[in-house]
Structure 1
Amino acid sequence: MNIIHLFTRYFHDVIIAVEAILANKMKSMLTALGIMFGVAAVISMLAIGKGAQQEVLEQIKLVGVNNIIVTPSETALGSPDAPSGGGIGSVKRFSPGLTLRDAEAIQAAIPTVNKVSPVISLNYHAVLNGKSYPVSLEGVSPYYFELLNVQLADGEIFTQDQSERGLPVCVIGDNIKNRFFSTEDPIGKYIKCGDTWLQVIGLIERRDFTASASDELGISSTDNKIFVPVKTMLLRFKDRARVDPEILESVTRAGANSTVSGDQAATKAEDQLDKIIIQVEETEHLGVTADIIKRMLLRRHSDIYDFEVTVPELLLKQQQKTNDIFNIVLGAIASISLVVGGIGIMNIMLASVWERIREIGTRQAIGASRKDIIVQFLSESTLISVSGGMIGIILGVIMARLINVMADIQTIVSVFSVLVAFGVSATVGIVFGYIPAKRAANQDPVESLRH
């Protein structure tokens, strides 16, 4: 009942405020400009932040949860913990490179490790019915698809038995299917890579892929790939672990030569694997497990740093933290324009009080109370601010879309950001409109009528 009474009591004051705004359209529009651009800036900045957060989450999905990635390094360096070489009698150290045995040792020896998948990548041409298409052939374990959240659209992944026996089976990406099996079901069909015919037993579901993920984390789209069991790759295609006799001969000669220094005596064979993906059971074990893996591989590789251990999730979380700080700074800068817009509203409303002092005196003379005057001017400032905020929301959505299209930066406008912007614009109108409204209400009716 009280709400209805208040609405009836002050509704006329709100109508007068609306009439004043319509009577001074240009001034009201200029007054609202600061709020418009402030709200637009806040929404677009929050959209950039939300887009960056979503991109990091997608990248985590691509690299898998709780994964550690071991890759060969370009150069073989001696361990800083190993005694420095040099001098008489030093022996040339030899590393076999990253091998399948390394992956098996990690799986067997470290209790915090859940699953392991070696990865071997080779470039081939897939051939079928006279059509040839360049593909990336990857030898992996059955765990690979689970570790990197790769989903199948049809068929199944190869079994443990197929993997152990090195059978010629494969799982293909979406582009391979479109290229060779556009009008038929590929499951059960055969495709030729090199001199080997592979039976298709699974089809990978197409998924969105960001180029930044490939650049920063060394991952790539599955659409142009053919996956085979890792032992199929080693038995039927190429095994780079077969050491060149020339390398063995050079190592033997270097060992016999007592004048070779330890700093010069580090060599490695060609890496059998291009990557080892290791999944850790718990996130809190990532750092410790990565350190254990590094120490184990150093022992297995004769204290030669010919590998790199990366924890993508930790890198991505650090990137997310940096993005959050950056977005807070951007949001704070954008919010300054809202404060400037609020100050503009207050200045215009203060000037408006002086311009309309006779109107204020007349209303007071015919019975308007101080509360009526406050409601009138407070309603006017709030309506100007809210109207500017609504226009700013539209501009913010447009700006976010333009940033997405023109700058190729992912932006996501959330309902939360729109509600926050709308609430802030209304609050700015109330806060910065109260002082002019209070001053108008405190005017002496007699003095006001003399102007």
Structure 2
Amino acid sequence: MKAIVQRYGHDVASGIEAIFTNKIKSFLTALGIIFGVAAVISMLAIGNGAQQEIMDQIKMVGVNNIIITPTQTVIDDEESSGSTDQVQISSKKFSKGLTLLDVSAIEEILPTVSRVSPVISFNYSAILNGKSKPVVLEGINNQYFELFNITLAEGIFYTREQMDNGFPVCIIGDNIKQTFFNQENPIGKNIKCGQIWLKVIGVVERRDFTASASDEMGITSTDNKIFIPAKTLIMRFKNRSLVRADEVEELMASRDETQNSKKENLNQLDKIIVQVENTEQLSATSEVIRRMLLRRHNQLYDFEVTIPELLLKQQQRTKKIFNIVLGVIAGISLIVGGIGIMNIMLASVMERIREIGVRQAIGASRKDIIVQFLSESTIISVSGGIIGIILGIVLSKIITVAFDIKTIVSLFSIVISFGVSVLIGITFGYVPAKRAAEQDPVNSLRS
């Protein structure tokens, strides 16, 4: 090893000397590698951030969940394919929409279901000690927190008695606590929502919420919400399935105004969240739920059954393909940088023919010439790779701050981009080095 170092150390030193002698040319040669490595790291960081965001959404939406939401009433396809009279008769059918009875039926009848929770949402203002804040009042049950992996920072969940009898108790989000109970423990205190005073029994633990998460998939921030038992909301606040006499004329008038106007939501529930025991049962269970609700709703499609995890996994596959495309595009820039190294080094060989002839005349072998030129290209690639890594990390941070796009710089992207840059330096530097070693010493000295 010592003999090898002694023999080729001078060749490597000559290569380093040549780099510093031609600083500008060496820097321009390294630019392709620098931007190539930076592009690989920053592009893969964007892809990794997108992948992580999807994984976070899957965790937030819960595992093996099915979301049931109300929609505009649609007549069953099988019935609509009949005569005109049949369609007219079918159109007179009535459905109460999504109700707590549907929740009970799903929970009692389907053996593959492990958890079910109703969701009723209203916008209210929370008031305490002269402070007012717009909040989302959400009627749920205890299983809701398990469905979405929500934990409590302090306090307890509802008791069975509180849920069954509609007690005025609530669990508040972190922003609610910071606004109304910043300097004190909220447990046991009361907060007014609408015209009802609610007793705080718990506080939801704060968690990061991605802006791209979809409310249609059941993913929403918990920080500005006040959670109460579903029956509490129906009994003490509003039950949309009950229409008062004074509301009938308003509903008829709004219906007559325009056929295209948006109908008021008269469903008792805004959502039903269902969780099955195994992923393999998702599709089959969703189909059974669809058929069961269709029968319960008098063959009217006034609901929609979606499987958010499957949608999110499809998004994840799309992001993975996008990540691969970004990596390939960035990798091409690395190859282009390598070709630039080869071209510059080939031009350098032609410019330094006399230097090569002098070295060969004083005893340098072909291996010495190859080592000298190969060391130049390798050092340029290595230094360009190091600068590119730093630039790639900085670019990733800038993208996160400037464009609010989550980026994750992985060790894999750093290692692979640096390794490729070194490999490119050796591969594309060998051809010029070999051509330099093949120069005839006599012709080189004459030129």
| TM-score over 0.5 for the pair | yes
Count how many residue pairs are aligned between Structure 1 and Structure 2.
431
Cα 1:303–1:137 change in 2 (3 A) is: same
Q: Which runs of 5+ in 2 are unaligned?
A: 250-262
Equivalence for 2:396:
400
Assess if the C-alpha contact under 8 Å between 1:241 and 1:269 holds in 2: no
CA displacement at 1:272 relative to structure 2: 0.5
Assess if the C-alpha contact under 8 Å between 1:151 and 1:205 holds in 2: yes
Counterparts of 1:135-284 in structure 2 under 5 Å?
135-214=135-214, 217-242=217-242, 270-284=266-280
Matches of 2:321 and 2:174, distance apart in 1: 38
Query: Which amino acid is the alignment partner of residue 353 of structure 2?
Result: I
What TM-score do you get using the length of structure 2 for normalisation? 0.91
Equivalence for 1:56:
54
Query: Which amino acid is the alignment partner of residue 90 of structure 1?
Result: I
Counterpart selection for 2:77 from 76, 80, 99: 80
Assess if the C-alpha contact under 8 Å between 2:57 and 2:219 holds in 1: no
Assess if the C-alpha contact under 8 Å between 2:367 and 2:437 holds in 1: yes
CA displacement at 1:203 relative to structure 2: 0.6
Q: Deviations over 1:311-369 (max 9, x none)?
A: 11111111111111122122212221111111111111111112112222222222222
Equivalence for 1:108:
108
Moved more, 155-164 or 202-211: 155-164
Matches of 1:315 and 1:402, distance apart in 2: 30
SS in structure 1 of the partner of residue 188 of structure 2: coil
Query: Which amino acid is the alignment partner of residue 32 of structure 2?
Result: G
What TM-score do you get using the length of structure 1 for normalisation? 0.90
Query: Which amino acid is the alignment partner of residue 78 of structure 2?
Result: D
Matches of 2:407 and 2:216, distance apart in 1: 20
Equivalence for 1:24:
22
CA displacement at 1:244 relative to structure 2: 5.5
CA displacement at 1:219 relative to structure 2: 2.9
Matches of 1:25 and 1:248, distance apart in 2: 84
Counterparts of 1:87-102 in structure 2 under 5 Å?
87=85, 90=89, 92-102=92-102
CA displacement at 1:215 relative to structure 2: 5.6
Q: Deviations over 1:403-446 (max 9, x none)?
A: 22222221111222111111111111001001111111222223
Matches of 1:216 and 1:200, distance apart in 2: 28
CA displacement at 1:269 relative to structure 2: 8.1
SS in structure 1 of the partner of residue 68 of structure 2: strand
Matches of 1:102 and 1:39, distance apart in 2: 56
Q: Deviations over 1:174-194 (max 9, x none)?
A: 111112111110011111223
CA displacement at 1:378 relative to structure 2: 0.7
RMSD: 2.2
Cα 1:86–1:71 change in 2 (3 A) is: same
Query: Which amino acid is the alignment partner of residue 89 of structure 2?
Result: S
Assess if the C-alpha contact under 8 Å between 1:135 and 1:226 holds in 2: yes
SS in structure 1 of the partner of residue 439 of structure 2: coil
SS in structure 1 of the partner of residue 28 of structure 2: helix
Equivalence for 2:9:
11
Q: Deviations over 1:133-167 (max 9, x none)?
A: 22211110101111111121111111233212322
CA displacement at 1:8 relative to structure 2: 3.3
SS in structure 1 of the partner of residue 89 of structure 2: coil
SS in structure 1 of the partner of residue 135 of structure 2: strand
Query: Which amino acid is the alignment partner of residue 437 of structure 1?
Result: A
Assess if the C-alpha contact under 8 Å between 2:127 and 2:191 holds in 1: yes
- Report % sequence identity: 65
CA displacement at 1:271 relative to structure 2: 0.4
Equivalence for 1:285:
281
Matches of 1:213 and 1:67, distance apart in 2: 15
Q: Which runs of 5+ in 1 are unaligned?
A: 250-266
CA displacement at 1:129 relative to structure 2: 2.3
Moved more, 79-88 or 59-68: 79-88
Cα 1:419–1:330 change in 2 (3 A) is: same
Assess if the C-alpha contact under 8 Å between 1:97 and 1:268 holds in 2: no
Query: Which amino acid is the alignment partner of residue 392 of structure 2?
Result: G
Counterpart selection for 1:39 from 29, 37, 40: 37
SS in structure 1 of the partner of residue 77 of structure 2: coil
Assess if the C-alpha contact under 8 Å between 1:155 and 1:187 holds in 2: yes
Moved more, 393-402 or 79-88: 79-88
SS in structure 2 of the partner of residue 423 of structure 1: helix
